[in-house]
Amino acid sequence: MRKFFFLFLLLTVSTSFPIVLSLAKSTTAPTVDTPLSPVDADNIIITGSTTPGAKVFATGGPYSIAPITADANGNFAVTVALAQENTNIFLIQAQESASELSEAVQIEIVEGKAAVESYEAANPGADHTAPAAAIFSNTTITATTSTYTLTGTGEAGAKVLNNLVAFTDISGHWAETAINALSEEGVVSGYGNGLFGPNDPVTRAQIVKIALKAFGHDTSSASLTPSFPDVPSTDWSSPYIEAANAIGIVSGYDENGTKTFKPSNNVTRGEALKIILLGAGFIDTASATTDGNFTDVDSVTNWYAPYAAFAKKAGLVSGYDDGTFHGDKSITRAEVCVIVGKVVDYMSTQE
């Protein structure tokens, strides 16, 4: 009798206090154009469409692939490397802001010279072989104008691509010089649609990659065994995060005895500064003084106090006009580029 009474009471309480479950919205799976296959090429461009501004993730192939952002029309184009003489399988997913990743769209690309020769023999007029490199009339150009024309020759019908720095959204931006400088060095890149997004936030995974590339850290020997359960070895950021963890640049979060990294979280100004300075390898936090720090940075309650004090004294960060640093605020792509550029310049004066 007591069991039935308890069950009735539980049902009564449950109906009196409704429980609202908040489920994260899943992004609709992207539409992926059918790629050329088989092909005889080192890499290929996968195109498609999704929600405008959504992040597009591609996994597969011999190398990690950084995510890109769909343009204002939802179109995207991601270049992927191909494992030679092999069948390459890629999974394409999209993710809107504050939403879960979409279901994966799987595509298959066969790479192999014999396979292409057989296909082209059976399909006269088909061309699945990568064109030879274009030949330019001049490889060194001195220009006094903002535009110039490159001339040369290439395979008929082939598109000629270049990696010249030409972001369309940073002209006149206060960080334009720093962004272009790091882009030329291959430290940062845009979204693949001519945009850099200087005022966009930076994720924890992205800041690690920037710090390692900016200061010449090798990721080729990074552990293939994940150190963090939320960074699988198949993720594009895994080699960078594993390398950074191995040399003590990052350590992750301790959550009930489990170390997590939270790669997709926006990195804060304090976290970014620490990763950049440790990546540069010239700060000893044990001896760093916190005297003369920013007005909102407390040496006792703010773990990033030594990094902020060091950076302020060295002129690497200036903070806001009111003398504050806002270490818990998200940092932008432009701010990261400027800080990294200043750290590189500072290091050259210490040699």
Residue position matching structure tokens 């845009």: 190
| Residue 17 belongs to some domain of the structure | no
> Of the candidates 65, 90, 122, which is a domain's last residue?
122
pLDDT value of position 12: 42
Number of structural domains, the chain? 2
| pLDDT of amino acid 135 | 77
Per-residue pLDDT band for 288 (boundaries 50, 70, 90) equals low
Task: State whether residue 75 is helix, strand or coil.
Answer: strand
Tokens of 203: 């994720």
Q: Are 306 and 336 in contact (CB under 8 A)?
A: no
Residue 274 CB-half CA count within 13 A? 20
Say whether both 333 and 211 belong to one domain.
yes
Q: Looking at the structure, tell me whether residues 115 and 237 fall in a common domain.
A: no
| pLDDT, position 3 | 46
Which is nearest to 339 in space by CA: 325, 328, 322? 325
Specify if 315 maps to a domain.
Answer: yes
How far apart (Å, rounded) are the C-alpha atoms in residues 293 and 306?
9
CA separation for the pair 276, 42 (Å, rounded): 33
Range of the domain at 314: 201-350
Q: Is residue 229 part of a domain?
A: yes
**Does a structural domain hold residue 300?**
yes
Q: What torsion do the CA atoms of 95, 99, 100, 101 make, to the nearest 10 degrees?
A: -10
| pLDDT confidence bin for 147, thresholds 50/70/90 | low
Q: Residue 15: what residue type?
A: T
**Is residue 163 in a domain?**
no
Which tokens in the block code for residue 216?
Answer: 């010449």
Of 91, 122, 153, the last residue of a domain is 122
- Which residue carries 């939802």 as its tokens? 74
Could you tell me if 325 and 297 are in contact, meaning their C-beta atoms sit under 8 angstroms apart?
A: yes
pLDDT at 145 > cutoff 90: no
Q: At what angle do helices 238-246 and 204-214 cross, to 10 degrees?
A: 70
Terminal-residue alpha carbon distance, the chain? 83
Both 111 and 205 in a single domain?
no
The type of residue at 108 is E
**CA atoms within 13 A of residue 324's CA, in its CB half-sphere:** 6
**196 in a domain, yes or no?**
no
> What is the domain-level CATH number for residue 105?
2.60.40.10
* Mean of per-residue pLDDT scores for the chain: 84
Calculate the alpha carbon distances from 29 to 32, 56, 64, 94, 100 in Å. Answer: 9, 10, 21, 6, 11
Question: Do 106 and 244 fall within a single domain?
Answer: no
Phi (first) and psi of residue 271, to 5 degrees = -65, -45
- Which pLDDT does position 6 carry in this prediction? 39
CB neighbours of residue 158 within 10 Å: 12
Looking at residue 37, its pLDDT comes to 94
Residues in the chain: 351
Q: How much is the average pLDDT of 337-350?
A: 90
Are 233 and 339 members of one domain? yes
> Where are the alpha helices (H) located in the chain, listed in sequence order?
2-16, 113-122, 176-184, 204-214, 238-246, 269-280, 305-314, 333-350
**Same domain, yes or no, for 216 and 303?**
yes
Residue 289 domain flag? yes
Q: 122, 151, 167 — which closes off a domain?
A: 122
The whole-number average pLDDT for the span 239-253 is 93
pLDDT above 90 as % of the chain: 50
Per-residue pLDDT at 65 exceeds 80: no
Q: Residue 182 pLDDT more than 70?
A: yes
Longest CA–CA separation in the chain, Å:
94
The answer to whether residue 212 is domain-embedded is yes
Residue 333 confidence class, pLDDT cut points 50, 70, 90 = very high
